[in-house]
Structure 1
Amino acid sequence: MADNKQPNQKSANEKSKDPKKGRIVIFSSIVVIILIAAIAAMIFSNLHNNEAKPKKKQPTHRTEQMTRIDYTGQPFIGSSNAPVKVVEFADYRCPYCKEFEENVIPDLEKDYIKTGKISLYFINDPILGPGSVLAANASEEVYHQNPKAFWAFHKAVYDAQKSEKEQWVTKKLLTTIAKKTVPSIDIKAFQNALDTKSRQNEVDKDTSLADSLGVPGTPVLFVGDQMIENGQDYTVLKKAIDKALAENK
């Protein structure tokens, strides 16, 4: 008697579908592997970028205590024998620095500088772009040629300050100011300093000092080696100076 059994249709169908399922599984696996590889690459890239761009160190109590200000070669007014040194880190394009120049320095001169109690130092910290760097180079060249004339030039640059949004610092303007405030200046050497940034090493030295001290912006004031928070406020600065004077008796 012949076997009338029909082939198992379900098994046959499943067998016919197996290759397709296999391809789907393989394709899905490839996609997953690609995604994992992409994620791994992104993580590695981020880690590499973070390593390639070192973050500026934030000031700590320890670094503030260990870092000392080198006053050598920095312009100052007042007696070199004054018991307390006050330092301003500033940018010629900074409007708050201009306010300090106009509103606070006259009081400092009257109360402390002319009386021989403090000497006031100025250190460049050009943070507002190429114009700031150019003005800093100009001030360094003036100081190099004629230290006594530095402050007249310094004040005139602040007097010429315009909006922070304007690129008002130009070689022509700085040359005009130098001719007016420093009659004895070697103008060719001054212009060459602007063209070649021959005083950039001095500017870099200033900015490196500012970074090592954790100077967060401009203007920033130090009394001795101590950064004074809100030191551009004369009341705050006066209190810090009086304290330092008392400690130096």
Structure 2
Amino acid sequence: MSSKKKEFLKADKDLESGNRKRRIVVFSSVIVIVLIAAVIVMIYQGQLAREEKPQKKQATHRTEQATGINYNGQPFIGSTNAPVKVVEFADYRCPYCKQFEDNVVPQLEKNYIETNKVSLYYINYTILGPGSLLAANAAEEVFRQNPKAFWAFHDALFKAQGDEKTEWVTKQLLTDIAKQTVPSLDLKAFQNALDTASNKNAVARDNQMAEELGVPGTPTVFVNGTMIDGAQDYAVLKQAIDQALNKK
């Protein structure tokens, strides 16, 4: 083979080697750029996800409430100066609320309310349908007309409670109970309240408060603004009240 041919082949081989190296460099550069871009995208997406992720809400019960209970304008029994406020969120059609009224409230009255240690508030949480709303509207009308008669009407309504699966709450029943328990009842105004749901805003405010407080169902009991698990058991409620009194 001539020397010129050898030189030509060598030059061709060097050219091919150089091209191969350049291709490797270009390919490697592309890979690096793609990796860098991927990392940038991942960082951006992670940051975006953190920004869009909603902040975890603070606990709404078993601790002091972020949204406080508004006691103003709510029916209660007991001294206005009682150091402990107990609140029952309840529904007149709820059978467990009736059990609380029958079994727990009498002990609460005897041991704490009559001794001016506790005031008991009742706040509507109408979760069982139209009958619940009708009953709450009637109770609100009684409270509007004669606050002192509220509890007599309240107790009689729970005593008249029927099967949860039936629509036992009727305008006639509510009217009969009001006639029996409310002195100087303005019957026409009471019946008009039932027909027009004139107290629906007051009931709606109660329901909104319950929702904001994270009330899980009925009955739900608070002691000085703290939700008490298992308060349908008087022993549990008593312990919570005693602890609240010891803090005073």
Q: Does the C-alpha gap of structure 1 residues 185 and 233 become closer, same or farther in structure 2, counting only changes over 3 Å? A: same
| TM-score after normalising by structure 2 | 0.75
The aligned counterpart of 2:241 is: 241
Q: Which amino acid aligns with 2:174?
A: L
Q: Does the C-alpha gap of structure 1 residues 77 and 62 become closer, same or farther in structure 2, counting only changes over 3 Å? A: closer
1:124 and 1:206 in contact (8 A); partners too: yes
The aligned counterpart of 1:16 is: none
The aligned counterpart of 2:108 is: 108
**Pair member with larger Rg:** 2
Q: Does 1:186 align with 2:189?
A: no
Alignment of 1:35-50 (within 5 A): none
Give secondary structure in 2 for the equivalent of 1:93: coil
Q: Does 1:212 align with 2:216?
A: no
Residues 158-208 of structure 1, C-alpha deviation per residue, up to 9 Å, x if partnerless? 010011011000000000000000131100000000000000000000000
1:64 and 1:213 in contact (8 A); partners too: no
Task: Give structure 1 regions of 4+ aligned residues with deviation exceeding 6 angstroms.
Answer: none
Partners of 1:63 and 1:241 in 2: how far apart?
A: 15
Q: Does the C-alpha gap of structure 1 residues 201 and 174 become closer, same or farther in structure 2, counting only changes over 3 Å? A: same
Which structure 1 residue ranges, 5 or more long, are not aligned? 1-56
Residues 42-93 of structure 1, C-alpha deviation per residue, up to 9 Å, x if partnerless? xxxxxxxxxxxxxxx9954699532111100000000000001000000000
Alignment RMSD: 1.6
The aligned counterpart of 1:84 is: 84
The aligned counterpart of 1:94 is: 94
Which structure 2 residue ranges, 5 or more long, are not aligned? 1-56
Partners of 1:118 and 1:132 in 2: how far apart?
A: 27
| TM-score after normalising by structure 1 | 0.75
1:63 and 1:213 in contact (8 A); partners too: no
Partners of 1:156 and 1:167 in 2: how far apart?
A: 17
The aligned counterpart of 1:118 is: 118
Q: Percent identity?
A: 69
The aligned counterpart of 2:195 is: 195
Partners of 2:148 and 2:142 in 1: how far apart?
A: 9
Q: Does 1:154 align with 2:159?
A: no
Q: Which amino acid aligns with 1:142?
A: V
Partners of 2:142 and 2:228 in 1: how far apart?
A: 29
2:149 and 2:183 in contact (8 A); partners too: no
1:58 and 1:214 in contact (8 A); partners too: no
